Amino acid sequence: MNQINWEELKQAAISAMKKAYAPYSKFPVGVAALVSDNRIITGCNVENASYGVGLCAECGLVSNLYTSGGGRLVAVVCVDGKGNFLSPCGRCRQLLFEHGGNEMLFMTPDGPTQLSKLLPWAFGPADLK
């Protein structure tokens, strides 16, 4: 695994954010991730007139992970419409945990942090055994 280029990830997240479909909230979100095979994948939020069925950017990211070959999420950057770092909601923290685990790094305004700090004592596949 190469060094993580956080600026490249942030720029990919900003590009994804610009493609978001957010006509109701006017709150576009973009996300980018480094995958275990060194690919960079992205996602953006997609709203719906029936608000509850909107998709967070991280949902698109995880879908992109699998449609582009699978793997594990290594590092993730999420941004708002101004390019500021954005914290994932609880549901999305769970999605990221499933596909990146405790060690996955997430960029915060204070720098990269492990997902285990954002989602302590996470529930996952091992709990179903």
The whole-angstrom separation of Cα 8 and Cα 55 is 24
Which residue among the candidates 47, 58, 98, 103 is catalytic per the annotation? 58
Catalytic residue flag (residue 58):
yes
* Whether the Cβ atoms of residue 38 and residue 1 lie closer than 8 Å to each other: yes
The three-state secondary structure class of 119 is: coil
The whole-angstrom separation of Cα 50 and Cα 123 is 29
Active site residues: 58
